[in-house]
A and B are shown apart, each in its own frame.
Chain A
Amino acid sequence: MAVTVSIPTILRTHTGGEKSVSATGTTLAEIIDDLENNHGGLKARLVKEGALHRFVNVYVNDEDVRFAGGLTAPVKDGDNVTILPAVAGG
């Protein structure tokens, strides 16, 4: 299961400057583990104490994964995973 992951500027130091990378897995957790294997350091920026970090939003095809099981959210071949910083309020 290969998906495309969009990497925000702040995390591109982990991907050699790449804006998007591919990863494989059937859940978001597996995708993040695969990212970590190829781009060390990413996981610690996304996951804290077994859950998505508070300041990170992850979307699978524009849907916030927090509404789809968080790290257990399923992903399928060809999905687009977008990582964005989470900042709310004005």
Chain B
Amino acid sequence: MTLSLDAVSVAGPVDLPLAGEQDVQAACGIMHVHGRRFGRPTPLGLDYASIVAAELAELGAHALTFAQARGIPLHAVSTSLAQAALLAVAQYLAAATADDPAEPHSPGGPPFHSAEGVAFEIEALDPSVWQRFWATFGADDQAVSQGWRPFLHRFATATCPLPSLPEVLAAHPMAWITEVAHRTGMTLVRVSDQPVCHGPAFVLSGASGDQRRGCPAELLPLSGLVVLESCRRVQGPLAGHLLRLLGATVLRIEPPGGDPSRWVPPMAGDTSARFRALNWGKDVVEIDLSTPGGRQEALDLATSADVFLHNWAPGKAEQWSLRPADLARVRPGIVYAHASGWGAELGANPPLGTDFVVQAYSGVPPSLMTIVDVFGGVVCAHGIVTALTRGATRVDSSLLSAAGRLNSWQRRRCAEPLTVPVCDDLTALAADPRFARALIQDDCVLVSSPWEFTS
């Protein structure tokens, strides 16, 4: 695929003379965030803003078609590279403008290399796995202990300084490292030098029958539609967030006590800034889905929903009897969307499906910015809106399918000279009046909708 940017402007509502991809990455904070691990602003290895904007443009076009089918008088939609870039840095922007002082961002980060020079990623969500893995190699206890926090937080900070640990692995052959990872439960994926790009970004199936919803009073494509969402972390919540920006009412199912992500610093008011960036404006209901009563409550809510969106781990929907057929039974025609890590590609027990592991597996030019998570959210929302438009009832997308879509765009890496200064401070960007029309000043700075619809 080549980029077709006819329907997409470069700067959109940003009042800067942005000439193209490089300028957008520089001015809108992508170079800054991606470059944290290197200690200096650095362009991504792909035309990320252009690719995200192209996907947003297609999504917006489908939303427009859907709006028109519903009798909502909208006639045009626009987006821009700058809005796509700001969407990608939204979490980092929210964190930089939160109440707590920003954490310092020391450079550093994976991938690791074996003695033979094989590059690989590791992932653990459990500190005991991390500890067992490094202990087997005789790594220094203090380095192991002090490394856990930056490793855990690299999703939020885009950097991961791990003094002395990469050197430990560089002394061992790949076969032994793989063996230790297997024994200790550490996820290990080699960095692929072959970009994976087979398969579509999302798969639609099922047929809703004639379920076109009536025209609501508001004027956005999904106004009047209800999305029931049970999602954590980034990809799923971002998909729900985009649907809300298209006008849907999004009801989030959170566990009793609320999603733990709500309390992760830095805070903006009484909620985590990063959480706000992905979930502002959603309604919330606390339900314990591990109980039969809780699951019944979710099904009751689904009876008045148009979309059910989740990003549960493999097997969870079956275990909870909340499969597509279970939802369709209580709400015929409901769109059932699953935003997973790997889809069905790696079988029933895939490795941990986090952004950086999927980057490694799929050969996406690596970044500690969550570029696959964000794009996965866009792709999932795109699938859902397409399903609504075409009357499909099931959407399956994954970080892997999103990575494949990223890879399918030509790697042309714009090299034109910069015509704008490089942003090296998200706080300054947030306060810059030239960005005011693209941002919302709240308890922290939030990013406005990436689309403008006109009637």
**Using a CB–CB distance below 8 Å, which chain A residues touch chain B?**
8-10, 55, 57, 59, 62-64, 66-68, 84-90
Contact = CB atoms under 8 A, between A and B. Distances in A.
A50 to B, nearest CB: 15
A89 B131 contact: no
Interface in B244-295: 257-258, 260-265, 267, 270
Q: Which bucket holds chain B's interface residue count?
A: 20 to 34
A55 B260 CA distance: 7
B444 to A, nearest CB: 14
Given A67-B127, A89-B352, A90-B355, A84 B264 contact: yes
A87 to B, nearest CB: 5
Contacts, number: 62
B125 interface: yes
B144 A9 contact: no
Contacts of A89: 125, 155, 233, 352, 354
Contacts of B125: 88-89
B63 to A, nearest CB: 26
A62 B146 contact: yes
Nearest to A6: B265
Find the residue from B257, B260, B356, B370 having the highest chain A CB count within 10 A. B260
A11 B74 CA distance: 46
B234 A90 contact: yes
Given A9-B270, A90-B370, A85 B263 contact: yes
A10 B145 contact: no
Nearest to A64: B148
Interface string B349-373: 0001011100000000000001001
Contacts of B260: 55, 85-87
A68 B257 CA distance: 28
Nearest to B399: A90
B116 to A, nearest CB: 29
